[in-house]
Amino acid sequence: MPECRIRTMTDDDLPDVSRVDLAAFSLAAQRFGGHPIDHGRHRMGLEYFRRAASDLCIVADTDGEVIGYGIGHRWGDTAWIGPLGVLPEHMGRGVGTALMQGFCTRAADGGATVVGLETSIAQNVRIYEKRGFLARGVRLLAARDLGPAVGAARAGDAATAGATGRFDPTDGAKVGDFTILPWGAAGQARPASRIKEARKLAGLVTPGLDHTGEFDAVPRSGMGPTYVALDGADRLAGYAVLHLRAYRSPGFMDTTPPADPLVWIMVGSAEATGALLAACEAAAQAAGAARLKVPCYGGNPHAWAVLKQLGYKVDAAFIRMFWRGQYGGTADRKWGQVPLDLSSWLG
């Protein structure tokens, strides 16, 4: 096999990345009984991931051919990788190891104090442990079927949600004790102070955690909205980044991929979380979706208690693994001492 070179992913690589991803994950689904993979990843989603952390998105290149890839993410001092894939004919030749080593080196050189990933495949757990990762917890994926006008019912404000149950907080909408705004409306008036408030909230979850790079990136990409919850004193009580669109689509250039809503990130008080979930549920319905998926790390029992109370049930589970640092969650802290954290490490 010719020498394999790990390099930074470019925009020109994206069609090849989609091709490799489809081949790798189709095989994984066949081997391990996952959902069948019929379509590759679309350009819109790949561009969004690459631009969010361009130095952590890498490919394995052999004589100009992309044979593997890894998409890395950076949230302040936390970095994680996923997805990662290798062409089936090149598996077992050290390509995945080279990609993983390349990511970890770049993450560490960039100052990450927490470096990790998530997987649902037992075989991968053993592979990653040999590469220096430790399995430290389980991350749940919860889901809830969305009935008619669920956003309106949760908000308790028919005038805001409208007769159809649609929730459009463009001009500000009250949900319980909170005003829910899209990030563009909330951030324009006081961008520096809102960013500071959001970083403070995230830092209470784990030092150095920072999601604010996603606030503009997700709406700009077309993947979904970012919402913030403001309390009665106009203070930031929580935020949510929602991926409305599926990561895969029949067409690589599709600009309106199918709706498959997933809360990508949500941080806030228990009360703000309930209000933000109402907004996300209504946005999911407006996009034509029948259910909303929400991640919850097992180390955050308070967050799971809120989700369960709101009718969410476990849909899937993943192992969260760490190469550097750790994220213990909120299990050792009393209710209300720290914001709830609902976030995924699986792109």
Q: Which CATH number belongs to the domain containing residue 35 in this structure?
A: 3.40.630.30
The two three-digit tokens of residue 244, written as one number: 């409305």
Q: What is the pLDDT of residue 31?
A: 84
What was the pLDDT predicted at 187?
Answer: 61
How many whole angstroms from its chain centre is CA 236? Answer: 21
Strands 114-119 and 134-145, bridge-based pairing: unpaired
Residues 80 and 185 in one domain: no
96 & 231 share domain: no
Q: Residue 171 — very low, low, confident or very high, per pLDDT cuts 50/70/90?
A: low
pLDDT tens string 206-255: 999 999 999 999 999 999 999 999 999 999 999 999 999 999 999 999 99
| Mean pLDDT within 51-59 | 97
Q: For the chain, what is the largest distance between any 2 Cα atoms, rounded to a whole number of angstroms?
A: 65
Q: What is the mean pLDDT of residues 87-110?
A: 97
Range of the domain at 59: 5-112
- Rounded distance between C-alpha atoms, residue 83 and residue 293, angstroms: 18
Would 209 be classed as within a structural domain? Answer: yes
Question: What pLDDT, on a 0 to 100 scale, did the predictor assign at position 78?
Answer: 97
Token output for 295: 């991640």
Q: In this structure, which amino acid lies at residue 44?
A: M
Burial of 116 (0-12, 13-18, 19+ CB in 10 A): buried
Query: Cα–Cα distance between 235 and 105 in angstroms, integer?
Result: 38
User: Taking Cα atoms as reference points, which of 287, 335, 340, 344 lies closest to residue 315?
Assistant: 344
Number of domains in the chain: 2
**15 and 90 inside one domain:** yes
pTM: 0.92
Give the confidence band of 291 by pLDDT, cuts at 50, 70, 90: very high
Q: Report whether pLDDT(117) > 60.
A: yes
pLDDT value of position 155: 42
Average pLDDT score over residue span 261-276: 96
Q: What stretch of H or E contains 198?
A: helix 191-205
**233 and 278 housed in the same domain:** yes
In this prediction, what percent of the chain has a pLDDT beyond 90?
79
d(CA 165, CA 159): 10
Arithmetic mean of pLDDT, 36-50 = 94
162 domain-assigned: yes
